[in-house]
Amino acid sequence: MHPILFRIGDFEVHSFGLMMAFAWLAAGAYLDREFRRHVSRVPRALVGDLIVWALAGSLIGARLLYLAVEYPSWTADAWSAVFSRSGFVFYGGLVGGVAAGVWLVRRRGLSIRAVGDVVAPALALGLCVGRIGCFLAGDDYGKPSDVPWAVTFTDPDTLAPPGVPLHPAQLYLSANALAIFLILNFLLPRRMFKGQVLSLFLMLYPAGRFLLEFFRGDPRGAWGPFSTSQWISLLVFPAGIWLYAWLRRTK
């Protein structure tokens, strides 16, 4: 693949960063359209403010969880990881982004349930695009495999083991996010109660993530038989079921 798309002198354009920018743009465009359809009294500036706060919260949360997971193996120069360009965990970003978003939405006096229903499919769409960036960079790569669709990374700048056929785990995760987006986007105008789409995301995403983690081959935090993300998925999934049932009773 192509971790670095092109260079202009010492300036490099990385495919991962470019795809992450596209991911946020896609999510923002979706939010701007669907907020006007499904959330009343939405200030026009909310989308931009929400993206800024959610982006800041997600970056901080993703980095903090990564540092917490890697803490047992830290070395004397481990503090350099705090300021490196790599080292993020999605669930940390989810918690950080949600916390920042909830704070902003409550401050604006809007319904968290209604806003959450629109944010959930936007998040899935962003994940779908962002995982393509992981694929291009060779990050979050899969286990060695001889399946017909296995991919081999040959670029010297790739983060994946070069010359080894691997499961395209990044594309599995991207396809999973796309499927979730299509389901949630279909449900959004047909939802039976506010918060239904959000709570369904909290069931669908961890279920898919738990299963697809078994195809991952990159080194990451693990406790016992499962990775950190799998353990978190086991907590988020029942929380999503509980939230769905509770919101349905209190609609």
Domain boundaries, the chain: 4-42+110-249
Average pLDDT over residues 147-168: 93
CA angle 26, 41, 123 (to 5 degrees): 25
CA angle 85, 64, 206 (to 5 degrees): 100
Residue partners of 191: CB distance under 8 A and separation at least 6: 117, 197
At 162, give phi and psi (nearest 5°).
-70, 145
Instruction: Tell me how far apart the alpha carbons of residues 227 and 216 are, in angstroms, rounded to a whole number.
Output: 10
Condensed to tens digits (0 to 9), the pLDDT of residues 192-236 reads: 999 999 999 999 999 999 999 999 999 877 788 999 889 999 999
The confidence score (pLDDT) of residue 70 equals 62
Has residue 187 got a pLDDT over 60?
Answer: yes
40 is written with which tokens?
């009343």
Residue partners of 96: CB distance under 8 A and separation at least 6: 57, 58, 59, 60, 61, 62, 64
Query: Is the pTM for the entire model greater than 0.75?
Result: yes
5 is written with which tokens?
């798309």
Condensed to tens digits (0 to 9), the pLDDT of residues 58-115 reads: 888 777 777 776 655 555 445 454 444 455 666 777 788 888 888 988 888 888 899 9
